[in-house]
Amino acid sequence: MSFLRNTFMTAYRARLYPNYWDIIALLLVLAIITLFGWNAKQMATPYQLGEAIPITLHPSALPLYAARTVVRMLIALFFSLLFTFIFGTWAAKSPRAERIIIPTIDVLQSVPILGFLSVTVAGFIALFPGSMLGPECAAIFAIFTSQAWNMAFGFYQTVRSVPSEVEEAAKMLHLSAWQRFWRIEVPYSMPGLLWNTMASMSAGWFFVVAAEAITVSNQEILLPGIGSYIAVAIQAANMRAVAYAVITMFVVILVYDQLLFRPLVAWAEKFKPESQAAEKMAESWVINLFRRTRMIRDLGLQMARLFDAFVNVRLLRIPYSIPAEEIEKTVSDRVISLLWDAIIFILGAGAVVFLGYYMWQNLALSEIGHVFLLGLVTALRVFILIILCSLIWVPVGVWIGLRPGVAQLAQPIAQILAAFPANLFYPFIVMFIVNYHLSPNIWLTPLMILGAQWYILFNVIAGASMLPKDLLQVVDNLSVGGWLRWSRLLLPGIFPYYITGAITAAGGAWNASIVAEVASWGQEKLAATGLGAYITEYTTVGNFSRTALGIGMMCLLVLVFNRLIWRPLYVYAENRFTLE
Is residue 183 scored above 60 in pLDDT?
A: yes
The continuous run of DSSP H or E covering 357 comes out as: helix 331-362
pLDDT tens-digit map of 139-156: 899 889 888 888 898 899
Is residue 28 scored above 80 in pLDDT?
A: yes
Provide the pLDDT confidence category of residue 196 given band limits of 50, 70 and 90.
Answer: confident
Residue-level pLDDT at 507: 81
Is residue 83 scored above 90 in pLDDT?
A: yes
Is residue 344 scored above 70 in pLDDT?
A: no
Contact present, 515 and 447 (Cβ < 8 Å): yes
Q: Which of 566, 438, 427 is nearest to 107 (CA)?
A: 566
Rounded distance, CA 558 to CA 445, Å? 18
* Mean predicted confidence (pLDDT) in 113-130: 77
Contact present, 518 and 448 (Cβ < 8 Å): no
Residue-level pLDDT at 377: 92
Is residue 434 scored above 60 in pLDDT?
A: yes
Rounded distance, CA 382 to CA 380, Å? 5
The reported pTM is 0.78
Is residue 3 scored above 80 in pLDDT?
A: no
Distance in Å from the first CA to the final CA of the chain: 56
Provide the pLDDT confidence category of residue 327 given band limits of 50, 70 and 90.
Answer: very low
3-state helix/strand/coil string of 532-547: HHHHHHHHHHCCHHHH
* Lowest mean per-residue pLDDT among 146-160, 277-291, 394-408: 277-291
pLDDT tens-digit map of 93-113: 888 788 788 878 877 877 777
Is residue 471 scored above 70 in pLDDT?
A: yes
Q: Name the more confident of 70 and 281.
A: 70
Provide the pLDDT confidence category of residue 446 given band limits of 50, 70 and 90.
Answer: confident
Residue-level pLDDT at 76: 92
Helices (H) and strands (E) in the chain, counts: 29, 4
Provide the pLDDT confidence category of residue 288 given band limits of 50, 70 and 90.
Answer: confident
Max avg pLDDT among 108-117, 354-363, 389-398: 389-398
Residue-level pLDDT at 325: 46
- Angle at Cα 505 formed by Cα 501 and Cα 507, nearest 5°? 125
Angstrom CA distances, 134 to 221, 223, 564, stand at: 11, 11, 40
* Lowest mean per-residue pLDDT among 139-143, 227-231, 348-352, 475-479: 348-352
pLDDT above 70: percentage of residues in the chain: 84
- Angle at Cα 396 formed by Cα 394 and Cα 397, nearest 5°? 65
Is residue 548 scored above 70 in pLDDT?
A: yes
3-class secondary-structure state, position 330? coil
Angstrom CA distances, 508 to 18, 76, 513, 568, stand at: 48, 17, 9, 20
Residue-level pLDDT at 328: 47
* Lowest mean per-residue pLDDT among 11-15, 214-218, 521-525, 568-572: 11-15
* Mean predicted confidence (pLDDT) in 452-462: 85
Q: Which of 176, 203, 186, 195 is nearest to 84 (CA)?
A: 186
pLDDT tens-digit map of 331-342: 555 666 677 667
Residue-level pLDDT at 9: 55
Q: Which of 100, 143, 47, 8 is nearest to 511 (CA)?
A: 143
* Mean predicted confidence (pLDDT) in 162-176: 80
Is residue 322 scored above 50 in pLDDT?
A: no
Rounded distance, CA 112 to CA 118, Å? 10
Is residue 177 scored above 90 in pLDDT?
A: no
Is residue 319 scored above 60 in pLDDT?
A: no
Residue-level pLDDT at 318: 55
Contacts 24+ apart (CB under 8 A), 268-277: 268/190, 268/191, 268/194, 271/187, 271/188, 271/190, 271/191, 272/191, 272/466, 273/468, 275/468, 275/469, 275/470, 275/471, 276/465, 276/466, 276/467, 276/468, 276/469, 277/469
Residue-level pLDDT at 354: 73
* Mean predicted confidence (pLDDT) in 166-174: 80
Is residue 541 scored above 90 in pLDDT?
A: no
Is residue 324 scored above 60 in pLDDT?
A: no
Provide the pLDDT confidence category of residue 14 given band limits of 50, 70 and 90.
Answer: low
Is residue 422 scored above 70 in pLDDT?
A: no
3-class secondary-structure state, position 131? strand
Is residue 459 scored above 80 in pLDDT?
A: yes
Residue-level pLDDT at 78: 93
> Mean pLDDT across the chain, nearest whole number?
80
Residue-level pLDDT at 396: 92
Residue-level pLDDT at 394: 93
Rounded distance, CA 429 to CA 495, Å? 34
Provide the pLDDT confidence category of residue 326 given band limits of 50, 70 and 90.
Answer: very low
Q: Name the more confident of 3 and 257.
A: 257
Residue-level pLDDT at 219: 67
* Mean predicted confidence (pLDDT) in 33-55: 83
Q: Report the chain's C-alpha Rg in angstroms.
A: 26
Is residue 242 scored above 70 in pLDDT?
A: yes
